[in-house]
Chains A and B, each alone.
Chain A
Amino acid sequence: MVTTRIDPERVLRGPSRGRETRGTRVFGAFNTVFLILLCALMLYPFITVLAQSFSSPGAINAGQVSFWPVGFNTDTYAAVMQNETFWRNYGNTVLYTVTGTAIAMVLTTTYAFVLSKPHLKGRKVLIGIAVFTMFFNGGLVPNYVLISSLGMKNTMWAIVLPGAISVFNLLVMKSFFESLPKELEEAAQIDGLGWYGIFGRIVLPLSKAVIATMILFYSVAFWNDWFAAFLYLDKTELFPVTLFLRNLIAGASTTASEGAAAAGTTTALVSSNIQAVTMILTVIPILCIYPFVQRFFVTGVMLGSVKG
């Protein structure tokens, strides 16, 4: 694999494209306006959900809420936060995310380290074992049968184990390890350090940035997952918060689809309020870390995955 190191500065600067003419200035202005509108469109769903979460059910019912709260109140937040199941499921999400990420990091870093050693006999087979699973997978039913027969249903392991290695992350990590200077490892070998020592004392400390990136990739994936829980967990007290939210949404949509009967509308709308609050509380951790880590995300994706 070719490792192309991308200079983030260069990405931001863009190419130099000669003198400004009137045509390019007009184009530049249109481009700027277009991109601003695009950003507004990208952000709008967040804004409307935020507005709904602070609005009164009556205002939502009347279709008055768009990007600003109408009938401002924090009662819905109070109601959701008093819900014990919500907090319990939120805690489960944290637990699954931390455990899943820890397991995933151990497996991914060790395997990527092994794969990054070009001299290793059988390396191509080891890589092939991983890459093949990107293009062919067992499918839903055999996975379900497997997890059930391993007795993992209604345990955390059904959530955290099957997703433990993302081959994409593995390959990014592998190419990072390959880009580390060989001299350090050679020197360590001469000093009598084994591969365990080289891995733990030399390679890992040099890879803090890529490790941070991978931790974030995995935690976002585990945080957002709902389907594994939906398949394998039956007990409400084990649900992650995404499944809690899914059940709110599914409940609301069946009420709505059962007809435009006036009786149904009030309950559906109260829950649209609650849905908004639950959504906000679920994305908040991601929104909070996002500004600090997106630089890592970007370099993480670019690293080693580009042959220009």
Chain B
Amino acid sequence: MTLTSTERPAAAPAAPPPPRRRKRRQTWREAFRRDWQLYSLALLPLIFFAIFKYGPMVGNVIAFRRFRPGGSIFGDEWVGFRYIEMFINDPSFWHVFTNTAILGGLTLVVCFPLPIILALLLNEVRKRHFKKIVQSISYLPHFLSVVIVVGMLMQLLSLQGTVNQIIGAFGGEGIPFLQRPEWFRAVYVGSEVWQTVGWGTILYLAALTSVDDSLYEAARIDGAGRWRQTWHVTLPGIRPTMITLLILNIGTFLNVGFEKVLLLYNPLTYQTADVISTYLYRVGLVSNNLSYAAAIGLFQALIGLVMVLSANLISRRMVGTSLW
């Protein structure tokens, strides 16, 4: 995650005017002579990027070509926008699209502000040992495999689990949460909070340390209490971090935790739980309509890209902070 002052990615240098071209070529040669060892170190990583990152991007052409298992990985014949039209006319696609937007939206709305609040609360703690313990404990869920998280959820939410024990203690009827579509979103977002709230505070806590103490001093002289110091000094101080993280979150908004949904859902909860990525997983890899699924995946990735770019643009225009 590079914040603000990173270089613009892959800005291709504008074509130099003809008289200078010769000189330019020479500097490349010089650069290679001087730094060939550096370039050679970059070789393996570049091969990695070419094969495992850019290879699949190019592989997306199968969204426009008929793909035959065992045939060319880039497909056999052009079919144009056939697969794109197919999913645009597919009601199940729009159903999972809506599910994704709702789940992603809920996650963003709930999981984005909570780490800020927790960071502010932690920031008010004076006893450093206590603060350190709280931090250690709240970071812990971040390091668990999603399989473990889902396993824990299943134990907690089973009919014999703690949540139903509590409901039972109050005389309520047991609820099989994971079999009920109306509970899926709550379960998903709740567990997402558990996993991310602590870890999410790190960047804010770091940003909080860079708020100048003299600003608090000045605010106090102006008669500001604790609350107004937070509102007028602390929050503006961490605003760039907030905006950067918001941009990143918006960009990944449609990639709602695919692995977690895949582990957590079942046919009984498809109605609310099925999202674009799980749908394309079933269509593509379970039912083997690879081209159709690739078309959906490409669409999803492009939306993600457009969303990051526009969030970035908006924040640069409106608040002067951007990722690059």
CB pair A141–B259 under 8 Å, yes or no, is no
Complex alpha-carbon distance, A108 and B280, angstroms: 31
Partner of A245, one of B121, B134, B148: B148
| Chain A min CB distance to B205 (Å) | 5
Q: A14-B124, A39-B138 are in contact. Are A165 and B45 (CB under 8 A)?
A: yes
Does B222 interact with chain A (Cβ within 8 Å)? no
Contact among B52, B55, B141, B210 with A306 in the assembled complex (CB-CB below 8 Å): B210
Closest Cβ of chain B: how far from A130's Cβ, in Å? Answer: 7
- A140 touching B140, Cβ below 8 Å: no
Q: How far is the CA of A276 from the CA of B178 in the complex (A)?
A: 18
A10 touches B209 (CB 8 A): yes
CB within 8 Å of A: which B167-192 residues: 168, 176, 178-179
Taking a contact as CB atoms under 8 Å apart, the answer to whether A195 and B38 are in contact is yes
- Return chain A residues, CB-CB under 8 Å to B7: 1, 124, 127-128
Give 1 or 0 for each of A279-297: 1 = CB within 8 Å of chain B CB.
1001100100011001001
Identify which of residues 139-195 in chain A touch chain B, using a CB-to-CB cut-off of 8 Å. 139-146, 149-150, 161-162, 164-165, 168, 171, 194-195
Check if B147 is an interface residue, CB within 8 A of chain A.
yes
B92 to chain A, nearest CB (A): 17
Residues 239-298 (chain B) with a chain A CB within 8 angstroms: 240-241, 251, 259, 262-263, 266-268, 277, 280-281, 284-285, 290, 293-294, 297-298
Question: Scoring A residues 91 to 131 as 1 if CB is less than 8 Å from chain B, else 0, what string do you get?
Answer: 00000000000000011101101100100111011111111
| A171 / chain B contacts, CB cutoff of 8 Å | 1-2
A32-B125, A63-B160, A256-B158 given as contacts; is B57 within 8 A of A290 (CB)? no
A90 surroundings in chain B (CB, below 8 A): none
Q: In the complex, are the beta carbons of A141 and B285 less than 8 A apart?
A: yes
A254 to B51: give the CA distance in the assembly, Å.
38
Partner of B151, one of A139, A140, A194, A249: A249
**Contact indicator per residue, chain A 40-53, by CB within 8 Å of chain B (1) or not (0):** 01111110110010
If A35-B125, A52-B155, A308-B207 touch, whether A140 touches B148 (CB-CB below 8 Å) is no
User: Across the interface, do A27 and B124 meet the contact criterion of CB distance under 8 Å?
Assistant: yes
Interface check B133, CB cutoff 8 A = yes
Contacts of A142 in B (CB 8 A): 55-60, 62, 294, 297
List of B residues within 8 angstroms of A298 by Cβ: 135, 139, 202
Q: Is the CB of A138 within 8 A of B147?
A: no
Give Cα A302 to B268, complex, Å. 42
Interfacial chain A residues near B8, Cβ < 8 Å:
124, 128
User: What is the total of A-B residue contacts with beta carbons within 8 Å?
Assistant: 360
B203 touches A301 (CB 8 A): yes
B95 to chain A, nearest CB (A): 19
- Cα of A140 to Cα of B137 in the assembled complex, Å: 34
Task: Say whether, besides A135-B304, A144-B285, A11 and B205 are in contact (CB < 8 Å).
Answer: yes
Q: Is the CB of B3 within 8 A of A272?
A: no
B87 within 8 A of A: no
A252 proximal to B (CB < 8 A): yes
A35 proximity list for chain B (CB < 8 A): 121-122, 125, 130, 134
Residues from chain B with a CB closer than 8 A to the CB of A143 are: 56, 59
B165 cross-chain contacts in A, Cβ below 8 A: 63, 66
Is the CB of A81 closer than 8 A to any CB of chain B? Answer: no
Q: Are A63 and B159 in contact (CB under 8 A)?
A: yes
A195–B32 Cα distance when bound, in Å, is 13
Q: Which of B37-75 contact A (CB under 8 A)?
A: 37-39, 41-42, 44-46, 48-49, 51-60, 62, 67, 73
When C-beta atoms are compared, the residue in chain A nearest to B211 turns out to be A15
Q: How far is the CB of A30 from chain B (nearest CB, A)?
A: 10
Q: Is the CB of B297 within 8 A of A133?
A: no
CB-based contact A226/B304 at 8 Å: no
A125–B8 CA distance with the chains assembled, in angstroms: 9
Whether B90 is near chain A, meaning CB under 8 Å from some CB there, is no
Q: With A and B bound together, what is the CA distance between A227 and B278 in angstroms? A: 13
Judge whether A85 is part of the interface by a CB distance below 8 angstroms.
Answer: no
Q: Which residues of A contact B150 (CB under 8 A)?
A: 249
State whether A139 and B301 are in contact (beta carbons under 8 Å apart), knowing that A107-B44, A107-B45, A114-B42 are contacts in the complex: yes
What are 26 residue pairs bridging A and B, where the CB atoms are less than 8 Å apart in the complex? A14-B208, A15-B216, A18-B220, A38-B118, A43-B140, A49-B151, A62-B160, A108-B45, A114-B42, A120-B35, A124-B8, A127-B7, A127-B10, A128-B11, A131-B324, A132-B9, A138-B60, A138-B301, A140-B293, A140-B297, A142-B62, A143-B59, A165-B48, A279-B148, A282-B148, A305-B3
Interface residue ranges, B against A (CB under 8 Å): 1-12, 27-28, 31, 35, 37-39, 41-42, 44-46, 48-49, 51-60, 62, 67, 73, 118, 121-126, 128, 130-141, 143-148, 150-156, 158-162, 164-165, 168, 176, 178-179, 194, 198, 202-203, 205-211, 213, 216, 220, 225-226, 229, 237-238, 240-241, 251, 259, 262-263, 266-268, 277, 280-281, 284-285, 290, 293-294, 297-298, 300-301, 304-305, 308, 324
Known: A4-B206, A12-B132. 20 other contacts (CB 8 A): A14-B123, A15-B208, A48-B156, A52-B155, A63-B168, A106-B44, A124-B11, A126-B46, A129-B10, A130-B49, A135-B305, A140-B281, A142-B59, A143-B59, A145-B56, A162-B52, A242-B145, A245-B148, A246-B147, A302-B206
* Interface, chain A (partner B; CB < 8 A): 1-2, 4, 6-7, 10-18, 23-24, 27-28, 31-32, 34-35, 38-39, 41-46, 48-49, 52, 60-63, 65-66, 106-108, 110-111, 113-114, 117, 120-122, 124-133, 135-146, 149-150, 161-162, 164-165, 168, 171, 194-196, 199, 220, 223-227, 231, 242-243, 245-246, 249-250, 252-254, 256-257, 269, 272, 275-276, 279, 282-283, 286, 290-291, 294, 297-298, 301-302, 305-308
